[in-house]
């Protein structure tokens, strides 16, 4: 029996105010904590009609809406494993995925009026249903299946039990001082781990309320500070790319709403100069963090004494080690159950070997210095693309770019500067970039440049480097 799941929902049931509020489509809709259990038990009755029940796998289209949040919480409460997919996934792709994982149902959980040709999860359908009591669950009952971003290769299905999300959320909340008085704004895409765990489960673990806005984009970025002020938001998560867009589009007086006390930045490295600049302008330090879809939160920076350029200090429940090459190995109480391969759960290895290279300072602060599978071996020299990109950041402000590689008969691999779109003067810009890198780093150089129409990125703006390498190879 999962004591953690019962405790999670029992705590929410004592809250007489809204714990979930949806503003994503211009209409405020909310659910109070005291009403949540009844709502989820009726929702489970509807899912049973669709063929889903305890230990079922279901495929669900997910969007940033109240419906998606309630569907996720229903799965968690009733022991259903939910395989999340974004809006836009084709019917044939959904069917193929359902066959692979032996799913019992495919559900449209977006709350959209659009007809996707699959059963639509609609709150008004549940009013006349007889609620189903939540079962006693094993703590390792599969709950959530998300997929890796694909930034380093083929996306993989990652299976978590509810206990890992609840316990990791508790550790993070304790280290960052999150309380039941906090209000989170969730603009992370909710078919992605950060939108589900960072933006829904972890805040609710502490009894904080969640305001769900539309998935991040230009309209969300332009109205972000106003949404925070209107809804008395005290905390939110953004990726570095998201935060950069918000700052570029900000036409306000650069004064943050007074309620905002935590700006967490994750899912990618944030350049230290960008963090310092934000603090200087807005007066709030971005709290860089480190996490993996497989292991959830690993570390977070301290808002009172930030170490910009780092990812903060590991949680008390996480043990971080390094092998001889600097590759990070992690043991944590919050590990995933394993990878889902053709409907079979392949258990996780312990410790978990990441593809990240890092180091730790004397005070325990963790620094991420790239990925082992992104390192470019050029003429026997290891070239870290993140280091080169950091050197070029100021010069290429306003341009999306990255450093990649391709095979070379002489060097082994050549270093390639990839620029999004083509502008007059790019050849001169490339020559300046060459001089900057060769002048700053001994034996390091950029060999060539290519322009591409669009640099492929994941749902939070993280560059998909394996896809870039394929583009470079074919150019």
Whether the Cβ atoms of residue 183 and residue 24 lie closer than 8 Å to each other = no
H or E stretch including 359? strand 352-360
Q: What is the pTM of this model?
A: 0.85
Q: Which of 259, 262, 199 is nearest to 229 (CA)?
A: 259
- What the block records as the tokens of 456 is 């492929």
- Identify the three-state secondary structure at position 95: helix
The pLDDT score that the predictor gives to residue 80 is 97
Contacts of 369 (CB under 8 A, 6+ apart): 326, 357, 358, 359, 384, 386, 387
390-437 pLDDT tens trace: 889 888 888 889 999 988 777 778 899 999 998 998 999 999 999 988
Which tokens belong to 391?
A: 């050197």
Give the model confidence (pLDDT) of 149-160 as tens digits.
554 455 678 999
CA angle 300, 304, 310 (to 5 degrees): 40
Give 440's pLDDT tier (boundaries 50, 70, 90).
confident
Cβ-contact 205, 170 below 8 angstroms: yes
User: What does the pLDDT look like over 323-344, one tens digit per residue?
Assistant: 988 899 999 999 999 998 877 8
Closest CA to 276 of 308, 314, 243: 308
Q: What is the pLDDT of residue 275?
A: 92
Query: Do the domains at 3-370 and 375-474 have one common CATH topology?
Result: no
pLDDT digits (tens, 9 = 90+) for 17-75: 999 999 999 889 999 999 999 999 999 999 999 999 898 999 999 999 999 999 999 99
> Which fold does the domain 3-370 belong to in CATH?
Rossmann fold (3.40.50)
Residue whose entry in the numeric block shows the structure tokens 């589009």: 249
By DSSP bridging, strand 183-186 and strand 235-238 are parallel
**Cα–Cα distance measured from residue 345 to residue 322, given in angstroms and rounded to the nearest whole number:** 27
Express each pLDDT in 455-469 by its tens digit: 998 877 788 888 898
Q: Where are the domains positioned within the chain?
A: 3-370, 375-474
User: Where residue 81 falls among pLDDT bands split at 50, 70, 90?
Assistant: very high
Q: How many CB atoms lie within 10 A of CB 169?
A: 24
| CATH number for domain 375-474, candidates 3.30.300.30, 3.40.50.720, 3.90.600.10, 3.30.43.10 | 3.30.300.30
DSSP state of 200: I
| H or E segment to which residue 61 belongs | strand 57-62
């Amino acid at each position: 029996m999962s004591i953690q799941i019962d405790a999670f929902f029992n705590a929410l049931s004592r809250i007489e105010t809204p714990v979930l509020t949806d503003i994503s489509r211009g209409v405020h809709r909310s659910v109070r904590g005291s009403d949540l259990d009844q709502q989820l038990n009726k929702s489970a009755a509807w899912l049973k009609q669709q063929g889903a029940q305890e230990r079922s796998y279901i495929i669900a289209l997910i969007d940033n809406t109240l419906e998606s949040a309630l569907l996720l919480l229903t799965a968690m409460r009733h022991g259903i494993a939910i395989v999340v997919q974004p809006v836009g996934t084709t019917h044939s792709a959904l069917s193929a995925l359902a066959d692979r994982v032996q799913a019992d149902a495919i559900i449209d959980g977006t709350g959209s009026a659009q007809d996707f040709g699959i059963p639509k999860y609609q709150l008004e359908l549940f009013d006349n249903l007889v609620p189903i009591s939540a079962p006693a669950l094993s703590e390792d009952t599969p709950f959530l299946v998300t997929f890796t971003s694909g930034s380093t290769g083929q996306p993989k299905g990652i299976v978590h039990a509810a206990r890992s999300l609840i316990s990791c959320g508790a550790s993070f909340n304790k280290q960052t001082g999150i309380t039941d008085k906090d209000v989170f704004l969730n603009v992370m895409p909710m078919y992605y781990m950060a939108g589900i765990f960072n933006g829904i489960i972890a805040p609710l673990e502490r009894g904080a309320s969640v305001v769900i806005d539309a998935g991040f984009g230009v309209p969300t970025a332009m109205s972000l500070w106003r949404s925070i002020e209107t809804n008395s938001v005290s905390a939110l998560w953004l990726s570095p790319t998201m935060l950069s867009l918000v700052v570029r589009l900000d036409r306000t007086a650069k004064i943050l709403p007074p309620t905002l006390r935590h700006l967490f930045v994750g899912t990618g490295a944030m350049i230290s100069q960008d963090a310092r600049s934000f603090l200087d302008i807005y007066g709030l330090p971005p709290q860089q963090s480190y996490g993996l879809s497989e292991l959830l939160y690993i570390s977070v920076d301290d808002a009172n004494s930030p170490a910009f350029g780092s990812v903060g200090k590991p949680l008390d429940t996480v043990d971080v080690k390094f092998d001889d090459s600097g590759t990070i190995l992690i043991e944590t109480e919050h590990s995933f159950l394993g990878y889902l391969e053709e409907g079979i759960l392949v258990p996780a290895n312990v410790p978990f070997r990441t593809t990240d290279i890092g180091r730790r300072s004397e005070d325990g602060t963790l620094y991420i210095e790239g990925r082992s599978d992104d390192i470019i071996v050029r003429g026997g020299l290891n070239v870290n693309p993140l280091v080169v990109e950091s050197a070029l950041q100021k010069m290429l402000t306003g341009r999306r770019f990255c450093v990649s590689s391709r095979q070379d008969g002489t060097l082994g691999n050549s270093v390639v500067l990839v620029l999004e779109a083509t502008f007059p003067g790019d050849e001169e810009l490339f020559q300046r970039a060459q001089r900057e890198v060769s002048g700053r780093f001994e034996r390091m150089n950029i060999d060539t440049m290519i322009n591409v129409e669009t640099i492929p990125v994941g749902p939070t703006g993280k560059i998909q480097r394996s896809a870039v390498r394929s583009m470079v190879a074919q150019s």
